[in-house]
């Protein structure tokens, strides 16, 4: 009888340790899953941050002032182009208006708008009216200057 009691007691202790090990294994797997899931959340946060910090670039392909050719103008939300000194890109060009055109970020897309210039603003050799969405590679003409838009 006493041998049976020892076996039952030993079996009970073994089952308790087995249950404890099973519980620890479950917690380990749960933590591993949560860590993996949190990495996806962090990656998603970085992706959203990258979208909100979108930068665009205007590269000068042609200009009346040859020293501007090849210059790159990076911007995030807004850039203005014209002959006036208060523009982000100042053109020394009699064919450009004082405030000729503006490019702005609208719903994560860039739009260009002619500001009522006399000689118009052109995108891919077509005059624009109102706002026009820009795509990477579009050619923008303001006065004698031609820019390539890129994202």
Band (pLDDT 50/70/90 cuts) for residue 38 is low
Cα separation, 44 vs 127, whole angstroms: 39
Band (pLDDT 50/70/90 cuts) for residue 32 is confident
3-state secondary structure of 74: strand
Structural element, H or E, at residue 77: none
Cα separation, 76 vs 64, whole angstroms: 26
Cα separation, 117 vs 129, whole angstroms: 11
Q: Count H helices, E strands: the chain?
A: 1, 11
**DSSP assigned state of 65:** S
Could you report the per-residue pLDDT of 53-105, keeping only the tens digit for each? 558 999 999 999 999 999 999 999 999 999 999 999 999 999 999 999 999 99
Rg (CA), the chain: 32
pLDDT for the residue 11: 86
CATH topology for 54-148 is Tumour Suppressor Smad4 (2.60.200)
Between 129 and 114, the more confident residue is 114
The structure's pTM equals: 0.65
Cα separation, 95 vs 82, whole angstroms: 10
């Amino acid at each position: 009888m006493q041998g049976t009691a020892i076996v039952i007691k030993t079996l009970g202790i073994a089952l308790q340790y087995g249950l404890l090990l099973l519980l620890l294994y479950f917690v380990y797997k749960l933590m591993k899953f949560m860590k993996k899931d949190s990495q996806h959340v962090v990656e998603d946060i970085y992706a959203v941050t990258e979208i909100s910090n979108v930068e665009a670039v205007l590269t000068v392909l042609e200009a009346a002032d040859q020293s501007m050719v090849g210059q790159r103008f990076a911007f995030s939300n807004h850039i203005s182009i014209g002959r006036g000194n208060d523009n982000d890109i100042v053109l020394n060009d009699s064919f450009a208006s004082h405030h000729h055109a503006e490019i702005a970020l609208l719903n994560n897309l860039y739009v260009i708008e002619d500001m009522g210039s006399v000689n118009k603003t052109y995108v891919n050799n077509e005059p624009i009216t109102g706002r026009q969405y820009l795509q990477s590679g579009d050619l923008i003409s303001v006065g004698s200057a031609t820019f390539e838009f890129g994202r």
